[in-house]
Amino acid sequence: MLRESVRSLAEAKILPFAAAVDEESRFPQEALDALVANDLHAVHVPETYGGAGADALATVIVIEEVARVCASSSLIPAVNKLGSLPVILSGSEELKAKYLGPLAKGDAMFSYALSEPDAGSDAAGMKTRAVRDGDFWVLNGVKRWITNAGVSEYYTVMAVTDPEKRSKGISAFVVEKSDEGVSFGAPEKKLGIKGSPTREVYLDNVRIPADRMIGAEGTGFATAMKTLDHTRITIAAQALGIAQGALDYAKGYVQERKQFGKPISDFQGVQFMLADMAMKIEAARQLTYSAAAKSERVDGDLTFFGAAAKCFASDVAMEVTTDAVQLLGGYGYTRDYPVERMMRDAKITQIYEGTNQVQRIVMARNLP
Ligand SMILES: Cc1cc2nc3c(=O)[nH]c(=O)nc-3n(C[C@H](O)[C@H](O)[C@H](O)COP(=O)(O)OP(=O)(O)OC[C@H]3O[C@@H](n4cnc5c(N)ncnc54)[C@H](O)[C@@H]3O)c2cc1C
C-alpha cells in the first residue's frame, strides 16, 4: 500500500518536473511541497517527536519510489534521515525534542556535514575545529559537498575538539543556518542530481551553546560512522529506484520502437538485455531490503550489509541505466528522453556516503 501510494504521488506531482529540475539545475520545490503535504519528507522521525515513525524498510520504499521518477527529489527524504540520524542515535532528549519536531512538520530540513575539501574518504583527517569557550563551542572551518546546504535549516557538523586523538577527538554538533558566522559557497556544477543543491558550508567563528553537542565529547566520529551504517541503505534504495525507473522506461520504449519491420522487443538480443537488467535490479532489491531489516534490528552484521547494499545497488544502477540508454539508441543519448538523466544521476550513488572502493574496505573489515 505504501509503495502504491508513494508511486502515484511521485508520478502525479514529482515526475512532471523532473526534467525541468535537471535542465535548470534548480531545487525541486514542487517535490518538497508534495512530500511535506503527504508526510513523506522525513518518514523516519519517530512518532514521539511528531513524525510518521516509519521503520527502515518503509523509509527505503519511500526513497526508492521517489528516485524512480526523480533522483534529486529522493534526496529530500534521504538526507533528512542522514542529517538527523546522529541526533536520533546519540543526541540528548532536549536536542531530539528541539530539532526533530520542526523536521517532522516539514518546517525545517536537516543536512549532514562530514566531508571537507581535503578530507573525503579519509574523513577523520578533517580540519574543522570546535573550541570550548565557557558554556559555548566556537566552530571554524569549511565543510564541502554538503547536500541541501542553504535549503536546510539544521546541520549535523563534525568538528575536531581534540587534535591529538584523531577520530576519537572529533565531536558532533547541531548548527543552525541562522547561527551567526554560517554561510554557503556557490552551488557545485554537477554531472547529475542537478536538482539537489551541493554547496560548501563555511563556519566562521560560529558560537553555539554547549548543549548543541550531539552525545559526549569525542564520540562524533563514531556517531557519524554509525549513521552511515543505516543511511547507506537509503542510498542503495535511491540507486534501486533510479535503475527501476530506467528499466520501466526502456521496457515501454522497446515495444513501441520498430526496426526491420517489427518492435525491437521481438529481438532476442534486446530481450536478454532486459532480462539481465531486471535480474540485477531484483538482486539489488533483495539485498537492500534485507539490509533495511538489519538496520531496523541493529543486527551485528549491519555494517557489512549497509556497505554491501550501497555498493551492489549503485553498481547495478550504473549498469542498468547505461543499458537503458543503449536500448533507446540515439534517442537515449538525448535529453528528450529521461534515461540519460538517470544514467548521470546513477553515477553519484557510487561516490557519496563513501565511494564503492571505501565500501569494499568496510566490507573486508567486517566480513560475515
Ligand atoms: C553530489 C555530492 C553530494 C555529497 N553530499 C555530501 C553530504 O551531504 N555530506 C558530506 O559530508 N559529504 C557529501 N559528499 C562527499 C562524498 O561523500 C565524498 O565526495 C566521498 O566520500 C569521496 O571523497 P572525495 O570526493 O574527497 O574523494 P577522495 O577521497 O579523494 O577519493 C578519490 C578516489 O580515491 C579512491 N580512494 C580513496 N581512498 C582509497 C583507499 N584507501 N583505497 C582505495 N581507493 C581509495 C576513492 O575511492 C576515489 O575513487 C557529497 C559528494 C558529492 C559529489
Nearest-10 Cα torsion for 239, 242, 248, 252: -140
Tens digit of each residue's pLDDT (9 = 90 or more) over 38-76 = 999 999 999 999 999 999 999 999 999 999 999 999 999
**Ligand 1 centroid – CA 112 distance (Å):** 14
Q: What are phi and psi of 175, to 5 degrees?
A: -115, 140
Helices (H), the chain: 2-9, 15-23, 29-37, 56-69, 71-90, 93-105, 220-256, 268-297, 302-327, 329-332, 339-348, 356-365
For the CA of 357, the closest atom of ligand 1 is 47
Write down the mean pLDDT value for the chain. Answer: 98
Kindly report, residue by residue over 212-261, the tens digit of the pLDDT.
Answer: 999 999 999 999 999 999 999 999 999 999 999 999 999 999 999 999 99
Q: Which is it for the CA torsion 353, 358, 363, 366, positive or negative?
A: negative
The confidence band for 27, taking pLDDT boundaries of 50, 70 and 90, is very high
For ligand 1, the distance from its centroid to the CA atom of residue 94, given in whole angstroms, is 33
pLDDT digits (tens, 9 = 90+) for 277-291: 999 999 999 999 999
Question: Which residues are within 8 A (CB) of 251 and not within 5 positions of it... i.e. 6 or more apart?
Answer: 274
Q: Using pLDDT thresholds of 50, 70 and 90, give the confidence band for residue 80.
A: very high
Strands 258-259, 262-263: pairing kind: antiparallel
Cβ atoms within 10 A of the Cβ of 263, count?
Answer: 15
Nearest to 123 by CA among 225, 199, 235: 225
Indicate whether residue 45 lines ligand 1 (CB < 6 A): no
pLDDT of residue 64: 98
Segment 120-165, tens digit of pLDDT:
999 999 999 999 999 999 999 999 999 999 999 999 999 999 999 9
Comparing CA positions, the residue from 192, 89, 90 lying closest to residue 147 is 192
Q: Which of 91, 353, 44, 95 is nearest to 220 (CA)?
A: 91
B/e letters for 99-108, b = 16+ CB within 10 Å, e = fewer, are: bbebbbbbeb
Separation of CA 186 and ligand 1 centre (Å): 19
pLDDT of the residue at 196? 98
Indicate the SS3 state at residue 34: helix
* CA 360 – CA 266 distance, rounded (Å): 39
Q: What is the pLDDT of residue 228?
A: 98
Please state, in angstroms and as integers, the Cα–Cα distance from residue 262 to each residue in 140, 252, 254, 324, following that order.
Answer: 64, 15, 10, 19
**CB contact set of 127 (below 8 Å; sequence gap of 6+):** 116, 118, 119, 141, 160
List the beta bridge partners of residue 146: 199
Question: 198 forms bridges with which residues in the sheet?
Answer: 147
Top mutation candidate among 352, 360, 362 for ligand 1, by most atoms within 8 Å of CB? 352
Which residue owns the Cα nearest ligand 1 atom 35?
Answer: 357
Grid cell in block for residue 49: 517527536
Confidence (pLDDT) at 75: 98
Q: Which of 72, 75, 115, 170 is the best mutation target for the ligand 1 pocket, counting ligand atoms within 8 Å of the beta carbon and taking the most?
A: 115
| Ligand 1 atom 43 nearest Cα | 357
Active site residue 116: no
Residue 307 C-alpha to ligand 1 middle, in angstroms?
14
Q: Which long-range contacts (CB under 8 A, 24 or more apart) does 259-262 make?
A: none
DSSP-assigned letters across all residues of 109-154: -EEEE--BTTBSSSGGG---EEEEETTEEEEEEEEEEEETTTT-SE
Cα of 80 from ligand 1 centre, angstroms = 20
Of all protein residues, whose CA lies closest to atom 2 belonging to ligand 1? 145
Confidence of residue 275 (pLDDT cuts 50, 70, 90): very high
pTM: 0.98
Q: Per-residue pLDDT tens for 160-207?
A: 999 999 999 999 999 999 999 999 999 999 999 999 999 999 999 999
Q: Which of 64, 65, 200, 353 is catalytic?
A: 353
